[in-house]
């Protein structure tokens, strides 16, 4: 076997390994990035939010990171686990932040609905 031919055969598995590693890099998935829909949090009672619950902390982190509202800026750098939702100042800022998030969502909604609708709500999704 020629040297060049041998090199091609040897480099093929390496190429496949590299490709598969690239496909599983989280950065690759971001090409299909979807913004979190945090509008439902506006309906929640802020005083009853359990900030010790990791799910609530994660949602708060995600929604605050995605929020473009000016009142949310101050909260972006706070650790959700340390937020005291019974503190009137925190509660008021959070309420304002959520209101602005809701307003922005309402503004964006007509634009999104004009691009199509989610047909997976009927409990049966199709993969083709």
Partner 1 sequence: MKIVKILGIAIPLAASATAAFVWSGLYPMGADVPHAKVTFWLLETLRERSIARASRDIVVPSIESSDMLLGGGADYNDMCAGCHLRPGVSQNDFTIGLYPKPPNLAMPGREHGEADFETRRDFWIIKHGIKASGMPAWGPTHDDDRIWAMVAFLRKLPELSEEQYQVLTARDGSEPAHH
Contacting positions for partner 1 (CB under 8 A): 20-21, 23-24, 26, 29-30, 32-38, 40-41, 54-55, 57-63, 65-66, 80-81, 120-121, 123-128
- Say how far apart CA 119 and CA 126 lie, in whole Å: 9
For the CB of residue 85, give the shortest distance to partner 1 in the complex, in Å: 16
For the CB of residue 10, give the shortest distance to partner 1 in the complex, in Å: 20
For the CB of residue 117, give the shortest distance to partner 1 in the complex, in Å: 15
Whose Cβ is closer to partner 1: residue 4's or residue 120's?
120
Whose Cβ is closer to partner 1: residue 36's or residue 70's?
36
Q: Who's near 125: CB < 8 A, 6+ residues apart?
A: 119
Whose Cβ is closer to partner 1: residue 7's or residue 76's?
76
Whose Cβ is closer to partner 1: residue 66's or residue 69's?
66
For the CB of residue 38, give the shortest distance to partner 1 in the complex, in Å: 6
**Burial annotation 51-78 (CB, 10 A radius, 16+ → b, else e):** eeeeebbebbeebbeebebebbeebeee
- Say how far apart CA 36 and CA 75 lie, in whole Å: 17
Chain centre to alpha carbon of residue 118: 18
- Say how far apart CA 100 and CA 47 lie, in whole Å: 18
């Amino acid at each position: 076997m020629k040297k060049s031919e041998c090199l091609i055969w040897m480099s093929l598995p390496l190429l496949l390994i590299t490709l598969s590693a690239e496909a599983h890099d989280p950065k690759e998935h971001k090409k299909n990035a979807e913004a979190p829909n945090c509008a439902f949090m506006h309906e929640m009672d802020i005083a009853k939010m359990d900030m010790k619950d990791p799910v609530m902390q994660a949602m708060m982190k995600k929604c605050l990171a995605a929020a473009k509202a000016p009142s949310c800026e101050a909260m972006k750098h706070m650790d959700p686990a340390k937020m005291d939702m019974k503190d009137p100042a925190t509660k008021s800022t959070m309420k304002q932040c959520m209101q602005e998030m809701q307003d922005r969502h309402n503004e964006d909604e007509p634009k999104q609905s004009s691009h199509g609708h989610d047909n997976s709500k009927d409990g049966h999704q199709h993969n083709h």
